[in-house]
Amino acid sequence: MIEIDIFNYNEEDVKEKVYNNPVKLIIKKETFEEAKRLRKIHKNRSVIAFKHVVFNSEVSINVDEGVDHDILISFHYCFIDNFSPFALESKNVSLYFGSSILDSFVARDVPLASIQFNNCFGSFTLENLKKCHISYTEENIFYLQWEKLVSTTRFNSFDDILSIKTRFNIVDVIDVNFYGNEFDKEKRNELQIDDNNVFTDKIAQTEEYKQKKLLTKEEKLKLYLTISLKYNVGKAHQKTKITKLLLNSIQFEGKPEGEIIVDTCKVDNIYMRNFSPKGDFTLYNIQTRGLSKGKFEVHNSNLDNTWFNSVKLNQYFIVFYRASFINTKFSSTIFPTTKELLEISLSSVENIHYPDKKSDKEAYNRDMYELFLELKQAFEKRGNVFEAQKMKAVAHDFLNKITSGNARKSEFWNSTSILWLNKISNFHGVSVRNAFWAIFASLCLFHWLNVLSFDSYYLTVNSWDEVWTIFKDTFKYIFVIANPAHKVSSLAPEGEVTSYTYAVSFFSRIAVGYLYYQFIAAFRRFGK
């Protein structure tokens, strides 16, 4: 075990060094008092900074009682195998990690004053802490410094570092702040960038910090950053804010008492499981990174205090199950189309929660029916008729599955039949296209049924030319059938009106009239 005294160390101990044995950072009261007597301590806070140091084993911290001075321990361009400040009792120690790689960082129940990470990669577990600040900023990617770090570690290139699967597991942290930024297109165009996407910062005073790197679109897509946030019941929570980050996934769980804001982030996968925020929960300007269709899952959650603002849900594979949306606010939120909601977004939910259990299908369908009715009501409260009608159509489709499972075979004109007819004719009032094609199919069907009764034509034909001739000669009767108020005599050549013609006329009037109504109803969906 190598010990480094914070108040009594040599410069070579903290600069460009490799430690293969465990290292303990100690803060002794004895050396603290001596440094205080010799006036070697800064008035406000003492700082020890490790730069380009490789720790190939565990790093820990130990502080003697009675040291009440504020201390900042920082790591810059370092590699740390395992960092565990588990024995820390002092409330005056702050930790800062900048542009470093930590294979494992675990901080549980330690009274740190604060902890900050900037452009760090690895695995991080933060539990029962007061405050943490994590940032990923493009403005301070110093190319030469990263290349120097790569040369002293197992990584072959900066691309290898970008590909590290970085995970933040945060449990019951009172104040959490994630922040990111990137250069916009105008700023990029002003910079003189070389083949490595590196530019020279003329303001920087030292040579080692003049070379800055911009991330290409491909490099940004390589980033694998996931965040898991858990809030246990009864634990203090003040605020969680996540802004302008590129994320692979983010997960929420528990019952946070404070405010949660996710603002202007590109997130590929969003999970809310057993999540019921007591404070305000806001999702603003959320979309995927564009890799592929993401996943948005809400399971066993109550989102009554949630505001979806400018969330592009149409970019996600949606899985909503056992969730409450009755008081959820939706503003400028884009849902998938009705067809996608049914055929794509919800097709896997039954398989996930009810695998091979036919007896539970009715319960599943009822849950989904009620869920989409809640979504319909939530949109109606905001005056969003378009999305409300979409949610109503999906709800009715699940209602159709419920009634079809309970209907008796002898009951034809039951709820199932009505819902089925509404689905194929205008998809429960939202599809003009369905209504149009239903009218077209109905006209064609009754037209050919009518033509088959003509004595002047034979049922069997010998060539397609004869079919085409019959089609041209009888095409006018389609327009007769299209008019529900037609005369029966207009449906057949003179002298060929039969009882069969009357039957075709009767049933075509009912079918075509009904489909016209469905067509108009779909057009008037926003006036309902």
> 421-426 long-range contacts, Cβ below 8 Å, gap at least 24?
421/514, 422/396, 422/518, 423/396, 423/397, 425/514, 425/515, 425/518, 426/518, 426/519, 426/521, 426/522
Backbone angles phi, psi at 527, to 5 degrees: -100, 5
CB under 8 Å to 35, separation ≥6 — which residues?
7, 8, 41
- The pLDDT value recorded for residue 520 is 78
Q: Please, are residues 119 and 178 in contact by the beta-carbon 8 Å criterion? A: no
- The pLDDT value recorded for residue 476 is 82
Q: Which of 119, 91, 19, 7 is nearest to 59 (CA)?
A: 19
363 alpha carbon, distance to own chain's centre = 27
Q: Please, are residues 92 and 113 in contact by the beta-carbon 8 Å criterion? A: yes
- The pLDDT value recorded for residue 69 is 75
Strand partners, 122: 102
Following DSSP, what letter does each residue of 324-377 receive, concatenated? Answer: E-TT-EEES-BPPPHHHIIIIITTTHHHHHSTT-GGGHHHHHHHHHHHHHHHHH
- The pLDDT value recorded for residue 461 is 55
Angle between helices 499-523 and 415-426 (to 10 degrees): 70
Angle between helices 415-426 and 385-406 (to 10 degrees): 140
Q: Please, are residues 426 and 521 in contact by the beta-carbon 8 Å criterion? A: yes
- The pLDDT value recorded for residue 334 is 85
Q: Please, are residues 324 and 304 in contact by the beta-carbon 8 Å criterion? A: yes
Single-letter code of the amino acid located at 364: Y
Q: Which of 164, 118, 168 is nearest to 141 (CA)?
A: 118
- The pLDDT value recorded for residue 284 is 95
d(CA 491, CA 351): 51
d(CA 304, CA 326): 6
> Any idea which residue has 């594979």 for tokens?
317
- The pLDDT value recorded for residue 44 is 58
d(CA 202, CA 182): 19
Q: How many other CB atoms sit within 10 Å of the CB of residue 284?
A: 17
Q: Are strands 198-200 and 211-213 parallel, antiparallel or unpaired?
A: antiparallel
Rg of the chain over Cα atoms, rounded to whole angstroms, equals: 34
d(CA 104, CA 115): 15
Following DSSP, what letter does each residue of 458-503 receive, concatenated? Answer: -S--SSHHHHHHHHHHHTHHHHHHT-TT--GGGGSSTT---HHHHH
d(CA 362, CA 310): 34
Angle between helices 385-406 and 361-381 (to 10 degrees): 160
Longest CA–CA separation in the chain, Å: 124
Single-letter code of the amino acid located at 507: F
d(CA 402, CA 370): 12
Per-residue pLDDT of the chain (528 residues; tens, 9 = 90+): 898 888 778 888 889 899 999 998 888 777 777 776 666 666 656 778 899 999 999 998 887 776 777 788 899 999 999 998 765 666 778 899 999 999 999 988 888 888 999 999 999 999 999 899 999 998 888 888 999 999 888 888 888 999 999 999 999 999 999 999 988 777 777 777 777 788 887 777 677 778 888 888 888 888 999 999 999 998 999 999 999 999 999 999 999 999 999 999 999 999 999 999 999 999 999 999 987 788 999 999 999 899 999 999 889 988 888 888 888 898 888 888 777 776 654 444 544 444 444 446 777 777 788 888 888 888 877 777 777 877 877 887 787 777 665 554 444 445 666 666 777 776 666 677 778 888 888 888 888 888 777 766 555 555 667 667 777 777 888 888 888 888 887 877 777 777 888 888 888 888 888 888 777 777 766 555
Q: Are strands 114-118 and 131-137 parallel, antiparallel or unpaired?
A: parallel
d(CA 294, CA 332): 19
Q: Is 26 left (phi over 0), alpha (psi -120 to 50) or beta?
A: beta
Cα atoms in the 13 Å half-sphere on the side-chain side of 14? 18
- The pLDDT value recorded for residue 477 is 81
- The pLDDT value recorded for residue 98 is 93
